[in-house]
Amino acid sequence: MNDGYALKVERLTVRYGDKVAVKGLSFMVNNGEVYCLLGPNGAGKTSTIKAILGLVKYEGLIDILGLGQPSPSVMNNIGVVMETPVVLEALTPREFLEFLGSVRGIFNARRAEALIDAFELREYLDTPIAALSAGNRQKVAIVAALLHEPRLLLLDEPFNFLDVKSVRVFKEIMQRHIESGGSILFSTHIMEVAERVCNRIGILNEGDLITEGTLSEIKERAKAGTLEDAFLKAIHADEEIKAILEGL
């Protein structure tokens, strides 16, 4: 346990053969904050999250909740929604959630019931996950991530496929998680959501952290009125967009 940070990443490098996807990245997620990792497609956001989970080989230092490097023993403290959710398609949501409970050794039936209702999954509990709509599958992945009340959430595009009501419910759950001292590393392309929920923001481009700060710091630095404008300026896409539009 430590008081300052939930996650510390120092000089993280991730390579796929000759391709360097993450280039010496350093950042911290403090206790009680939402840290947003923004960046264009291919910037290295998912690779960073995979490294934090020990799913890819990496160089550098990762400290999760003061418990050290990714390992099975720290996983019970983490809830993860990957951009391609890992759900066992042949199982029903009920079987999948019970399976996770037995693997983790944590299953709070009351919390499970509450989350199932919050995401309106009750009528699908006994339907094979393979037969669910994309949004309902995503909801199963979200419930799975929240079930064991983890202290740190790693959320990679968690709002994919969700309907408006579920987005609202999930944003509220994220807020409560933070209020109760939890922390979130959150990757998204939706700037309006980022503007609302992020305490601090890091913008990744081609594996480099090109700017980091609070929403107002990022906007001030770019002399931009919105996060979208600040983001596009930071990655030098504003001029490119102008040229593209002139060519149309």
Ligand X SMILES: Nc1ncnc2c1ncn2[C@@H]1O[C@H](COP(=O)(O)OP(=O)(O)OP(=O)(O)O)[C@@H](O)[C@H]1O
Structure tokens at 134: 């994309």
Minimum Å distance from CB 128 to ligand X? 27
Residue 243 makes CB contacts below 8 A (sequence gap 6+) with: none
Member of 2, 16, 113, 130 binding ligand X (CB under 6 A): 16
**Minimum CB–partner distance for residue 211 and ligand X (Å):** 16
Distances (CA, A) of 216 to 58, 132, 183, 195, 227: 32, 40, 20, 10, 9
User: According to the binding rule CB under 5 A, does residue 160 interact with Mg ion?
Assistant: no
Q: Does the protein bind ligand X through residue 21 (CB under 6 A)?
A: yes
Name which of Mg ion, ligand X, none residue 47 binds, using a CB cut-off of 5 to 8 Å depending on partner kind. ligand X
Q: Does position 39 bind ligand X by CB under 6 A?
A: yes
User: Among residues 80, 85, 49, 78, which one has the least CA distance to residue 160?
Assistant: 85
d(CA 188, CA 191): 8
φ and ψ at residue 32, rounded to 5 degrees? 80, 20
Pairing of strands 59-64, 5-16: antiparallel
* Interaction between residue 83 and ligand X (CB under 6 A): yes
Asked if 188 interacts with Mg ion (CB under 5 A), we say no
- By CB atoms closer than 10 A (0-12, 13-18, 19+), residue 179 is exposed
Give the list of residues 6+ apart from residue 91 with CB closer than 8 angstroms, or none: 99, 128, 129
Distance separating alpha carbons of residues 89 and 141, to the nearest angstrom: 11
- Least gap, CB of 186 to Mg ion (angstroms): 12
Select 42 or 60, whichever has its Cβ closest to ligand X. 42
Q: Using CB under 6 A, which of 42, 60, 128, 213 touches ligand X?
A: 42
Residue closer to ligand X, measured from CB, 119 or 159: 159
Tell the smallest beta-carbon distance from residue 149 to ligand X (Å): 27
Contacts of ligand X in 45-74 (CB under 6 A): 45-47
Minimum distance from residue 173 beta carbon to ligand X (Å): 23
Q: Which does 43 bind (CB under 5 to 8 A by kind): Mg ion, ligand X, none?
A: ligand X
User: By CB under 5 A, what part of segment 16-55 binds Mg ion?
Assistant: 45-46
Enter the tokens of residue 43.
Answer: 């910037």
In the complex with ligand X, the residue whose CB is nearer, 13 or 136, is: 13
Interface ranges with ligand X (CB under 6 A): 16, 19, 21, 39, 41-47, 83
